[in-house]
Each structure stands twice: as structure tokens, then as C-alpha cells.
């Protein structure tokens, strides 16, 4: 593998990163004619095993099969729904992946089940090379969202908000008495006693994602805010 950039330098979409038949494509890159290119703006990383990948900076979500996302119904067609998943690409949700019962399309209006503007927790089921995507709601976590609030953070900050084995998000849930669902696409649903505080906490984690010991710092910060509110 011949590296065409210095490790951890900033690259732009379409920029050549490496060439050679023994290159391995990681996330955020694609291969054409034995040459690897960046899919988006980010930092290039050359890893052991001759893998090349690009860690995105700020930007919209790039879907992967199996991801749980918070999506908004943007269009209702004759036989499926089109969903905004906070990505450059929309996703299709077929009837069979969203509704258990039989629907007679000659008589039933599928907007009665999910209409434009409805928000759902869904799972990415298929992503083709041309970025055609299918989502479904057969996963146990999937459902229509009612009540609460939705906030957005950079998708690249989602792992930090969740924390190791859910440590960060579970701590925020416990402190704020909220249900919190973090979508891999950077949308977060919050519902509960202290929604506003939980939202501020999630956004604070996103801003300070690079700090060490952040979970302990957030624990202290939340205790201070709760004391100011008189909730302790």
C-alpha cells in the first residue's frame, strides 16, 4: 500500500488516499481501480492490516445496516413511506416492514398508520452501493414516538453520548428521570421529568466529547444543576 497523505491529516470528499491492490477499505472511504478515495470531509487514518479509513468531522449521517435511527416521515406514497433519516439520502419503509396487519391498498390509506411529520424509531435494514436504503420497524425498540422532545447532535458524537456500555446515557437518564433514545443518526428522543436538563446534558457531552474523564465531570455538572433547581 502506498500512502498518499500523512496520517491524521484532513481530507475532502473524492481525495485520493492510497493505492495498491493490498489496500483494505474501512469506513468513510471507497475504492476504484485499486485506489482509495475519501467519501467525505474528515481525518484520514492508516491502520494496521493496511486498512484506510476516514473519520468524519461535522456532517450528516452516513447509514449502515443494523443502525437504529430516529426518522421523520417526509412523504407517503401508494405503498410505502419515505423517511428523512438526517442523511444526504432518504430511506424507504415498505408496508411489510412497518405494519403487521394486512392492508388492502385499494381501500386503505397508509397515512392512517404513519403520516407526514410522524417521528419513528426504526432500523436500517439495507444499504446498497448506490445508497438506496430500506428501513423497518420489526426490531423490538422500533415504534412511533409520541410526546417528549427531539434534539440533534453531530452523528460522530453519538458514541460519546452513549458511553462505554451505556455509562454516559444511563447516568443522564437516572439523574433526569427521563427516557432517552439515542439514534445513530444524531437524533435523540427525550421524554420525562427534566427533559430540558437532559437535552442540555447531551449537547454538553457532544461539545466536550474529547475531554478525559467526561462521565465523572458530567455527573458533577448534573448534580450542580439539580441542586440549583432544588431537586437534590
Q: Tell me whether residue 63 is in a domain.
A: no
Q: How far is CA 26 from the centre of its chain?
A: 18
* 103 and 132 within one domain: yes
Name the residue among 154, 129, 120 with its Cα closest to residue 65.
129
Q: Tell me whether residue 62 is in a domain.
A: no
Question: What's the confidence (pLDDT) of residue 80?
Answer: 94
pLDDT < 70: residue spans in the chain: 57-60, 232
Write the CA distances from 80 to 19, 55, 118, 219, integer angstroms: 42, 33, 14, 44
* 214 and 155 within one domain: yes
CATH, residue 139:
2.40.50.140
CATH, residue 200:
3.30.1370.10
Question: What's the confidence (pLDDT) of residue 70?
Answer: 97
Question: What's the confidence (pLDDT) of residue 56?
Answer: 73
Question: What's the confidence (pLDDT) of residue 61?
Answer: 83
Write the CA distances from 97 to 33, 90, 136, 200, integer angstroms: 37, 16, 5, 34
CATH, residue 29:
2.40.50.100
Question: What's the confidence (pLDDT) of residue 219?
Answer: 96
* 207 and 174 within one domain: yes
* 184 and 128 within one domain: no
Name the residue among 186, 99, 115, 122 with its Cα closest to residue 150.
186
What is the domain extent for residue 220?
149-229
Could you list the beta-strand ranges (E) of the chain. 2-3, 10-11, 16-19, 24-25, 29-32, 35-38, 42-47, 51-56, 68-76, 80-84, 91-94, 119-127, 133-136, 143-144, 149-152, 178-182, 187-192
Amino acid at each position: 500500500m502506498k500512502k498518499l497523505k500523512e496520517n491524521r491529516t484532513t481530507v475532502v470528499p473524492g481525495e485520493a488516499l492510497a493505492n495498491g491492490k493490498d489496500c483494505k477499505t474501512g469506513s468513510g472511504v471507497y475504492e476504484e481501480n485499486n485506489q482509495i478515495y475519501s467519501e467525505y470531509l474528515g481525518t484520514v487514518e492508516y491502520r494496521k492490516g493496511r486498512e484506510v479509513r476516514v473519520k468524519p468531522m461535522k456532517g450528516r449521517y452516513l447509514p449502515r445496516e443494523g443502525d437504529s435511527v430516529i426518522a421523520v416521515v417526509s412523504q407517503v406514497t401508494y405503498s410505502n413511506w419515505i423517511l428523512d433519516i438526517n442523511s444526504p439520502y432518504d430511506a424507504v419503509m415498505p408496508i411489510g416492514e412497518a405494519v403487521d396487519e394486512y392492508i388492502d391498498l385499494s381501500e386503505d390509506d397508509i397515512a392512517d398508520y404513519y403520516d407526514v411529520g410522524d417521528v419513528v424509531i426504526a432500523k436500517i435494514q439495507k444499504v446498497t452501493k448506490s445508497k438506496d436504503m430500506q428501513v423497518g420497524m420489526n426490531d423490538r425498540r422500533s415504534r412511533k414516538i409520541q410526546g417528549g422532545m427531539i434534539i440533534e447532535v453531530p452523528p460522530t458524537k453519538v458514541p460519546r453520548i452513549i458511553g462505554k456500555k451505556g455509562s454516559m446515557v444511563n447516568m443522564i437518564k437516572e439523574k433526569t428521570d427521563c427516557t432517552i433514545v439515542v439514534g445513530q443518526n444524531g437524533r435523540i428522543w427525550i421524554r420525562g421529568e427534566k427533559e430540558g436538563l437532559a437535552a442540555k446534558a447531551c449537547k454538553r457531552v457532544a461539545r466536550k466529547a474529547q475531554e478525559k474523564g467526561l462521565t465523572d465531570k458530567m455527573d458533577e455538572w448534573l448534580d450542580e444543576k439539580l441542586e440549583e433547581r432544588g431537586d437534590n
